[in-house]
């Protein structure tokens, strides 16, 4: 059976491609031992506020992509599930003795 779902949009692929280097860099920095001294409270607050802003930006982008994909892909997925279920029901009805 052919896949009834439309292909993933270019915007989503572009978003993931932009997100991967950021994730790789943050993983690299988190895993490395850049400095031996602890971070002071002011620096920690600055880092936290910057990360909160960046996380909010990413959340807005992912939420909008999710909504766009939901409106385009969900109906196709539901139709596919219904079609498979109807085929299963028809096969079960054929196997029932009369």
The percentage of residues in the chain with a pLDDT greater than 70, rounded to a whole number, is 86
In a domain, 2, yes or no: no
In a domain, 17, yes or no: no
Contacts of 61 (CB under 8 A, 6+ apart): 15
Which residues form the domain of 47?
40-98
Statement: residue 80 has pLDDT above 80:
yes
In a domain, 16, yes or no: no
Domain count, the chain: 1
- Are the CB atoms for 5 and 80 separated by under 8 Å? yes
The pTM for the full model equals 0.43
pLDDT in tens, 1-48: 555 555 667 777 778 778 888 888 888 777 766 566 788 899 999 999
In a domain, 18, yes or no: no
């Amino acid at each position: 059976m052919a896949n009834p779902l439309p292909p993933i949009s270019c915007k989503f692929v572009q978003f993931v491609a932009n997100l991967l280097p950021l994730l790789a860099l943050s993983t690299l920095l988190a895993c490395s031992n850049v400095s031996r001294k602890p971070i002071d409270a002011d620096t920690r607050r600055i880092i936290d506020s910057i990360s909160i802003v960046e996380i909010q930006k990413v959340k807005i982008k992912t939420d909008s992509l999710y909504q766009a994909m939901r409106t385009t892909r969900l109906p196709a997925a539901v139709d596919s599930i219904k079609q498979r279920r109807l085929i299963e029901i028809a096969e079960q009805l054929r196997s029932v003795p009369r």
